[in-house]
A and B are shown apart, each in its own frame.
Chain A
Amino acid sequence: SQELEQSPQSLIVQEGKNLTINCTSSKTLYGLYWYKQKYGEGLIFLMMLQKGGEEKSHEKITAKLDEKKQQSSLHITASQPSHAGTYLCGADPNTGNQFYFGTGTSLTVIP
């Protein structure tokens, strides 16, 4: 069973449009990570959220953590072709050592 569900699975947007990707956990979130993966490459760390209500931004990407909803959202403002790729959320285990990931959201930005 998937412990981290991402929505949507894929997204196609026009350059300049805003978009949001959601990551919902079936377990209590103790730490939520966002990664980006370009096709054929490894994952690149974007940001980490640890506290309920925490919000972080990097350039035009903002991520928020809602502990009560066990959910995180990743928002991209004024999307650019360079934002294209697959975005994955990952979560810290609260017991044991097994970090786990969502299934990813594929983003295409049309120039």
Chain B
Amino acid sequence: NAGVTQTPKFQVLKTGQSMTLQCAQDMNHEYMSWYRQDPGMGLRLIHYSVGAGITDQGEVPNGYNVSRSTTEDFPLRLLSAAPSQTSVYFCASSPGWTGTQYFGPGTRLLVL
């Protein structure tokens, strides 16, 4: 039982490049979410999903896309990276939209 896994752990991008941050969970949780963590800002919700095929925007969705084709996977896509997207990204899952969330180890992204 791996819990929530994220890849890569660290990534450097140039402005304008695209990439996908991977997130997977093996707990059969319906609810998954992506957060970014910045100094002094705490954790801010980017996108979330309440089940396969269903996604919605969080507090800071601009510049990011998500999809949820399976219960297990919830990738986050940056279509055209900007320096403002330099951050630490966390994926989380929970059995429902209320309740304890289980977090992945994070992906550190640097956009030059």
Residues of A within 8 A of B (CB): 2, 30-31, 33, 35, 40-45, 48, 88, 90, 92-93, 97-104
A residues near B101, Cβ cutoff 8 Å: 33, 43, 45, 90, 99
Q: 8 nearest interchain CB pairs?
A: A103-B42, A42-B103, A101-B43, A43-B103, A97-B97, A92-B98, A42-B105, A45-B100
Q: Does B25 have its Cβ within 8 Å of any Cβ on chain A?
A: no
A residues near B106, Cβ cutoff 8 Å: 40-42
B residues near A99, Cβ cutoff 8 Å: 33, 45, 97, 101
Q: Which residue of A lies closest to B94 (CB)?
A: A99
Q: Does B26 have its Cβ within 8 Å of any Cβ on chain A?
A: no
Verify B42–A88 contact, CB threshold 8 A.
yes
Q: What is the bound-complex CA distance between A2 and B43, given in angstroms? A: 11
A residues near B45, Cβ cutoff 8 Å: 98-100
SS of A interface (majority): loop
A sample of 5 inter-chain contacts (CB < 8 A) reads A30-B98, A31-B98, A42-B105, A101-B43, A104-B42
| Centre residue among B42, B48, B101, B106 by max chain A CB count within 10 A | B42
B residues near A92, Cβ cutoff 8 Å: 98-99
